[in-house]
């Protein structure tokens, strides 16, 4: 929400069913979802035809503008033209051009780490499964959502950068 209380203008990137509830929540919260970018129609079931992604179906139902590029770089101009305050990415399924980050965040984006979501817990390597098991033992019910794994890893990176810094924000950013 903006400082004046109005909703933010958003470009939303997402594809699977798990990305539908956040999209609906943003719209319900009064944000202006100016553009939705999702995977092209694909054969998702045994039927003969191609089906829209769950996000495309929801966005169409909500009356939102939808783009379905084969490659994300194909919509860079449309994303720029949307003049969004922020982009939200929820399991989009394609790599976004880094130029989008730099165009919208400018100099503040230099040195930024980009997390690419999509790895399911069951497909983690041995070290990842050990981390998941250890982290899970600290969580109620020992269930760990993949987003929590990413958050824990991001926290570890940040704490490591703070530990190597001289304590100033500039020094942490330099790490």
pLDDT confidence of residue 116: 47
Chain segment 43-75, per-residue pLDDT in tens: 756 666 778 888 899 999 999 999 988 887 888
| In the predicted structure, residue 174 carries a pLDDT above the cut 60 | yes
Cβ atoms of 37 and 11 within 8 Å: the answer is yes
pLDDT confidence of residue 104: 60
Q: Say what the pTM is.
A: 0.59
| Exposure letters 36-53 (e unless 16+ CB within 10 A, then b) | bbbbeeeeeeeeeeeebb
pLDDT confidence of residue 61: 94
Closest alpha carbon to 35 in 65, 14, 5, 63: 65
Residues pairing with 32 in the sheet: 9
Is 31 exposed, middle or buried (CB count within 10 Å of its CB: 0-12, 13-18, 19+)? Answer: buried
- Sheet containing 9-14, strands listed edge to edge, beginning at the edge strand earlier in sequence: 66-67, 32-37, 9-14, 86-90
């Amino acid at each position: 929400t903006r400082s004046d209380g109005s909703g933010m203008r958003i470009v939303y990137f997402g594809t699977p069913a798990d990305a539908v509830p956040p999209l609906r929540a943003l719209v319900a919260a009064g944000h202006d979802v100016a553009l939705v970018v999702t995977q092209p129609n694909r054969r998702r079931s045994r039927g003969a035809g191609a089906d829209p992604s769950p996000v495309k179906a929801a966005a169409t139902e909500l009356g939102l503008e939808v783009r379905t590029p084969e490659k994300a770089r194909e919509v860079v101009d449309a994303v720029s033209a949307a003049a969004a305050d922020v982009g939200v990415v929820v399991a989009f399924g394609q790599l976004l051009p880094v130029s989008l980050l730099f165009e919208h965040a400018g100099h503040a984006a230099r040195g930024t780490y980009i997390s690419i979501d999509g790895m399911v817990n069951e497909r983690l390597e041995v070290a990842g499964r050990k981390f998941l098991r250890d982290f899970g033992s600290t969580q109620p019910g020992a269930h760990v959502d993949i987003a929590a794994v990413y958050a824990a890893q991001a926290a570890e990176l940040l704490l490591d950068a703070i530990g190597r810094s001289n304590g100033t924000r500039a020094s942490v950013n330099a790490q």
